[in-house]
Amino acid sequence: MSAFYVRGIGMQAPGMQGWSACCGVLSGRVPYSDQALVPPMPEILPSNERRRATASVRLALSAAQEAAAASGVDVSAFATVFTSSDGDGVTLDQICNTLARAPLDLSPTRFHNSVHNAPAGYWSIAIQSRHASTSLCAFDASFAAGLMEAAAQVAAGPAPVLLVAFDLPFPPVLNPLRPVSVPVAVALALSADPGSAPMARCALAFEASAAPAFAGQGGLDALYANPAGRALPLLALLAQRAPGTVRLEYLDSCSLAVQAQPF
Amino acid sequence: MQHRLPITAFTVTSALGPGCAAHLDAIEHTRAGLRREDFEGAALDTWLGRVADLEHTPLPPRFERYDCRNNRLALIALAQDGFEDAVRRAAHRYGAQRIAVILGTSTSGIRETELAYQQRNGGALPATAGSYRHRHNLFSLPEFVRDYLGLRGPAQTISTACSSSAKAFASGLRSISAGLCDAVVVGGVDTLCFTTLFGFNSLELLAPSPCRPWAADRDGISVGEAGGFALLERDGEGAIVFEGYGESSDAYHMSAPHPQGAGAALAMQQALAMAGCTPADVDYINLHGTGTLANDRSEDFAVCRVFGPGVPCSATKGLTGHALGAAGILEAAICLLALQHGLLPGTANTPARDPDLGANLLLEPRRRALARAVTNSFGFGGSNCSLVFARP
């Protein structure tokens, strides 16, 4: 399929708050240190939405905002692809508790926050953009699925595409069902044209064979166990600024090959 | 980018019954499938478009780990209208790794987790909640369908509330255009659960009687459930062609539509532009038409702005209920049946059009050959999608 340009990256994870911190670790210049993530609050959210936005919305939009700002593209020009395996576990837990106890007490704000496209809705309201937006899920393969969707949208044109992958730990009652232990959000600003300062030119290929096991440096396993953390092999390639190809884990025995040529 | 993909097979199940024949018959006779709410003790004063017997049709033992209301409905739909055979022929032709599965759902098997919370009594969740991945997670639906059909290509769920399964068509077309696959199973499934029933109740949007879209005294939605699929192929012989889509965001409110339907109008205009046709080329519009005051007014504004007051429209949720994430595939299937059989659906339960609304609403079904149909799907978060289908 046709190539696309990476124009900006956003990152929110423990020890990697912002692309510059992430880049330092993944390029090998700085050892990884597992610092707790300071809960981010994206400045683009208007005050009304700040009050209502859940932790998952704030995490996703913080990464999105960083990638968009780094891209040099007007933030309102992007179509968006949000991808997440588990969405908003806190809201799910609250809703299930209410439904089990007193279902008539369900809050309308919780209900609208429970839709998988809630971050996309908050984003479009925050930046007043009517561009198309898609919200996806592919369980552990959510990042690779989102990257394929975003690349297909760039190819279909004409808007640049902001890809946002995020997942958070489930609250205690739900956590045994899905043992993700740390929050991660990764955003990539992608376009068909290189602009003035592209970071890399990339091309994707779906492959019917499995990817090699992730071999990150110590401490990154918890991040990689988060579906959004499955972006780490690609981010490492981009951080090292050397041409190469990584294969991302996708569904069962399939993988997604990403070829990158840095600038 | 390649537009115009043939639809080589499709099927749907809803409160109207199993498969295309049941839907055609119900549309022809305006036989609604709604009944008083009777879902698992919810005790809400409203009506439902409920699919019969899902409680008594577990998945076969081989697929037991996927067993939930949503995947049961998926299996019923897969087994109808020759759909499975069509997919197997496509797999033989292109290779199983060249067929994608892109499906919409808003709540998947969330009912399993709701029930587990009812049983936990403040303690840990019971073991029945253990198959989160295969039942509750949004990806459960395409994972089950891909597994059941023996496909090995890309797969994903689109989950954008009530536009989900309409947007699956758009994503499917892009995937073929981008060369990621040669054929795509699109569509979606959404089934009854307490989250959506009590959620819409909290918004005071549940109608106490069968919903009446476009009526002056309309007072809300009837929640429904549905499952359906369509097979899009790179090339092939299809009776109907998928010509284009439009997608937009309202950028207005999380659960209320833009008052003048600005995002909805944009989606319709983009869909027409992609299909390379003008409003005059469209013979029928299946409205999103949920039956709430605000939704119908907003959509009417947008339809009249884009199409003028002439194009025949109808809202079929009075027949089926609002199938939420499956509304897109359900109403796409109704458009495909309309194109195939020259039958425009009426608008069940609505005695007369609200005089303040302007769209050319069909109250009764009408027999007339048509060449091109549009369907609208709009959801929470301001997510809008319009699709264009035509006879080749």
- With an 8 Å Cβ cutoff, is B269 touching chain A? no
B178 vs A contacts (CB less than 8 Å): 1-2, 148, 151-152, 155-156
Q: Cα(A252)–Cα(A237) distance, rounded to whole angstroms?
A: 23
Q: Count Cα neighbours of B263 within 13 Å in the Cβ-side half-sphere.
A: 31
Q: Hey, is A245 helix, strand or coil?
A: strand
pLDDT of residue B129: 67
Inter-chain residue contact A251 with B155, CB threshold 8 Å: yes
Instruction: Report DSSP state, residue A173.
Output: T
- Taking CB atoms and an 8 Å cut-off, how many pairs form between chains A and B? 210
- Best of A139, A163, A254 to substitute, by most chain B Cβ atoms within 10 angstroms, is A139
Residue A65: which pLDDT band, with cuts at 50, 70 and 90?
A: very high
Determine the length of chain B: 392
Q: Cα(B104)–Cα(B185) distance, rounded to whole angstroms?
A: 11
A54 vs B contacts (CB less than 8 Å): none
User: Which residues in chain B (300-359) have CB-CB distances under 8 A to chain A?
Assistant: none
A175 vs B contacts (CB less than 8 Å): none
Out of A92, A106, A112, closest to residue B254 by CB = A112
Q: Which residue has the higher pLDDT, A58 or A218?
A: A58
- With an 8 Å Cβ cutoff, is B175 touching chain A? yes
- With an 8 Å Cβ cutoff, is A120 touching chain B? yes
Q: Cα(B27)–Cα(B366) distance, rounded to whole angstroms?
A: 10
Out of A100, A121, A250, closest to residue B380 by CB = A121
Inter-chain residue contact B194 with A174, CB threshold 8 Å: no
Q: Are B230 and B328 in contact (CB under 8 A)?
A: no
Percent of chain A with pLDDT over 70: 100
Q: Pick the closest to residue B111 from B170, B160, B42 (CA basis).
A: B42
pLDDT of residue B2: 58
Q: Is B23 a catalytic residue?
A: no
- List Cβ neighbours of A51 (8 Å cut-off, separation of 6 or more): none
Q: Could you tell me the domains of chain A?
A: 4-197 (3.40.47.10)
pLDDT tens readout for residues A126-176:
999 999 999 999 999 999 999 999 999 999 999 999 999 999 999 999 999
pLDDT of residue A140: 97
pLDDT of residue A221: 94
Exposure b/e, B290-323, CB count within 10 A at least 16 = b: bbbeebbbbbbbbbbbbbeeebbbbbbbbbbbbb
Inter-chain residue contact B255 with A113, CB threshold 8 Å: no
Out of A111, A121, A208, closest to residue B202 by CB = A111
φ/ψ (deg, to 5) at A56: -70, -40
Q: Hey, is A121 helix, strand or coil?
A: helix
pLDDT of residue B3: 74
Inter-chain residue contact B254 with A92, CB threshold 8 Å: no
> Mean pLDDT over residues A82-111, rounded?
97
- Best of A130, A164, A167 to substitute, by most chain B Cβ atoms within 10 angstroms, is A130
Catalytically annotated residue among B20, B23, B68, B162: B162
Q: Could you tell me the domains of chain B?
A: 5-390 (3.40.47.10)
Inter-chain residue contact A206 with B180, CB threshold 8 Å: yes
Q: For residue A119, is the peptide bond before it cis, meaning its omega torsion is within 30 degrees of 0?
A: no
Residue A2: which pLDDT band, with cuts at 50, 70 and 90?
A: confident
Mean pLDDT per 10-residue interval, chain B, length 392 residues: 86 98 98 97 98 96 97 98 98 97 98 95 81 96 98 97 98 97 98 98 98 98 98 90 98 95 98 97 98 98 97 98 98 98 98 98 98 98 98 91
In the beta sheet, which residues pair with residue B229?
B11, B187
**Helix runs in chain A, H state only:** 19-26, 47-52, 55-71, 89-101, 108-113, 118-127, 142-156, 221-224, 232-240
pLDDT of residue B1: 57
> Mean pLDDT over residues A76-97, rounded?
98
pLDDT of residue A224: 97
Tokens 């106490």, residue located:
B208
Q: Is B288 a catalytic residue?
A: yes
Amino acid identity, position A149: E
> Mean pLDDT over residues A196-217, rounded?
91
Out of A115, A117, A152, closest to residue B175 by CB = A152
Amino acid identity, position A77: A
pLDDT of residue A196: 92
Q: Is B258 a catalytic residue?
A: no
The ipTM, to two decimals, is 0.98
Q: Are B374 and B285 in contact (CB under 8 A)?
A: yes
Q: Are A81 and A136 in contact (CB under 8 A)?
A: yes
A220: left (phi over 0), alpha (psi -120 to 50) or beta: alpha
Q: Pick the closest to residue A125 from B380, B56, B48 (CA basis).
A: B380
Q: Cα(B330)–Cα(B326) distance, rounded to whole angstroms?
A: 6
Exposure b/e, B47-79, CB count within 10 A at least 16 = b: bbbbbeebeeeebeeeeebbbbbbbbbbbbbbe
pLDDT tens readout for residues B125-149:
987 767 899 999 999 999 999 999 9
pLDDT of residue B82: 98
- With an 8 Å Cβ cutoff, is A203 touching chain B? no
Q: Are A229 and A25 in contact (CB under 8 A)?
A: no
Q: Cα(B40)–Cα(B300) distance, rounded to whole angstroms?
A: 35
Inter-chain residue contact B177 with A178, CB threshold 8 Å: no
